[in-house]
Structure 1
Amino acid sequence: MSTGDDGELRSRVRQFLAEHPPERTERLEFLRARFDAGLAWVHFPAGLGGLDLPREQQQVVEEEFAAADAPDNNPRLNTIGLGMAAPTILGFGDDEQRRRFLRPLWTGEEIWCQLFSEPGAGSDLAALSTRAVRDGDEWVLDGQKVWTSLAHRASWAILVARSDPEQPKHKGLTYFICDMTAPGVDVRPLRQITGEAEFNEVFLNEVRIPDSRRLGEVGQGWQVAMGTLMNERVAIGGSNTEREGGMIGPVADTWRTEPQLRTPAAHDRLLQLWVDAEATRLTGDRLRQQLAAGTPGPEGSAVKLSFARLNQEISGFELELLGEQGLSYDDWTFRRPEHTDFTARDAGYRFLRAKGNSIEGGTSEILRNVIAERVLGLPQEQRTDKQAPWKELPR
């Protein structure tokens, strides 16, 4: 198929739909067939869910499937797998790993989580202390991970561990795929300010991982992790959003339906937030277009930074606008939500949950450093720990 030929791609999708009518095809069978036809990620290689086409042509595929009311893979339930694990496996995995993991990941048969952050290594990921010791054809892992979304539902995890404490902290890391059902993996809930437990802490006690589930070379964990995190920041801050999508939508609806809340000062503030939200949305669209021919770069950090700031400012303004109504919160019940939903909950939930936006996916402070050093080209901060062996660093 020639690149840039929307008509030919649309014909291909319509032929697929004729051969697999959505209303008469079992959902999982439909999704597996769609992957095998190269209509999952069209920019992925043929045989791995794609057709070797430009990334932007994915929109053509999605339009055709949406028009046919075809089932999707419910991406909100496997955000880490789709947005982070899949591009990492494609970029650093071998042929066997790609064939084994990409198809059930895309269809949603296997959910993924991310075992990166630790109690002593959140913003400074390279300081992590989870150990990976080689034992023949296996690695034995011991340590603790934290803030792990979906760990209670996940089949697999992408994981970074320290394989060589003699090396400086950025060089002694190795990246693995971890079976979340393996002996020694202990998942415990972390209750958040909202009363829910989206996140978990995960304890690893002599967990054995075959060397065949290592991604990248031994000691290359930092480089592989950076590829993952760049994709994460684009996934969080640069998702495809319609005008007045996200947090600004409920506030705009309240303004239109409850005129008694309006004041001149609130009007000016809402307009400024609306413009900021629209500018961030369009910047995210432009970023996705730039990604069509390559992989994410540090520019995604700017979109994610703006996303976090806006969510917190908008949710704070919403509480001020609503007054006493904004102080209510409908559900403090401890539960395990399937995904974060900012638009279907009340203002109290949005205000509390938005506090995490400046932490998850890279803290806003770290992202400012990334932007300063890697986008603007400003001098790096002075660091005294980059060349010293990790085992000699104070902890």
Structure 2
Amino acid sequence: MIDRARLGKLLMGTDPRVRRMVAYWAATGVIYVLMIALMQVAVQVGLADRRAVAMLTAYGVCGVLAFAVLVRASAVLGISPWILSVLQGLFAVSCNIWLYTVSGPLREASLITLLVVVTFCTFSLRPRQTMLLSAVSIAGMGIAMWFGVSRDAAHYPPMVEALTFAFASVGLIAITLLTGQMNTLRARLKNQKEELLVALATIRTLATRDELTSLANRRHMNDVLADEERRQKSAGATCIALIDIDFFKDINDRFGHAQGDAVLREFAAAALGALRGSDMLARWGGEEFLLMLPTTQLAEATQVLARMAGAVAAMRLPEVELGRPVTFSAGVTARAAGEPFAETINRADKALYRAKAEGRNRVVTV
């Protein structure tokens, strides 16, 4: 039994872009098959020459199969999509011009497909490339009509061919101009979409990040805690620490709020450098921060906070000469099984006040 999934990967590939191109070319192949079927009907009713149609059919089938292989292997061969589109467009134009010469009294109807070819190519070509394809189409069409008039003026009346050429040329030029405008609008919409995505990412960042320290803000941390509370009712220990920079009001009063903001930024950077990958630090308000330490026992949490205190004390702020290292007070506690985080935070807050009452620059555990 044939493995359909494996066969699909073999024919279509795994690269989404290649799969999309193969699917488009398969749809194009269906159009070629329909045109071949219509020409066979024209042969059966005596409106087209059998031998000429057979040669065109062989040319079309070989071209469709060749391009199917090229599209499928384009990533391996390094062929750009726009190059494939140009080549496919030129092949389609050559088929249409040949079709015009063998369609007999139906030749004017074949020009409709020429307009379709140019329109279809505009979805993958730039305006200049589309204009070049239209110019090639007009030139090829003119050569085919001139050849028909010079070979058999009775069946290719010069005035009829001239007017047909003029009508078809006007149609191709009009489509080229319209599709150029469409490409411009599409490019504008693409740019607007990219701008909206950037704006959305910025809004999402502003909604979840503290602008000054680039840490998670209180709202986002509350969302994270709520998710953690729903996800883990009892599995794994989680510790919560509330941290407050010591004598921060004194820093603001002595050096100004700009330097106070600098201390907050440096504190956040130093603290993050001392944390583990799973830990999450958020600015809780003012100079207060909340630290979540997932799957952590209380003894390990105090070690993390001690490492963080060392990193903070090592900060160098030339603009803020305190005469002492920057320190912080912290209260840390472990969440009980099934306990709401609000209660855990409240317990850590009480431990923080104890740390301040006992002289600051220390970690109190509960």
Q: TM-score, normalised on structure 1?
A: 0.19
Higher relative contact order (CA 8 A, sep 6+): 1
More helix by share: 2
Q: Decide which structure has the larger Cα Rg and report it.
A: 2
More strand by share: 1
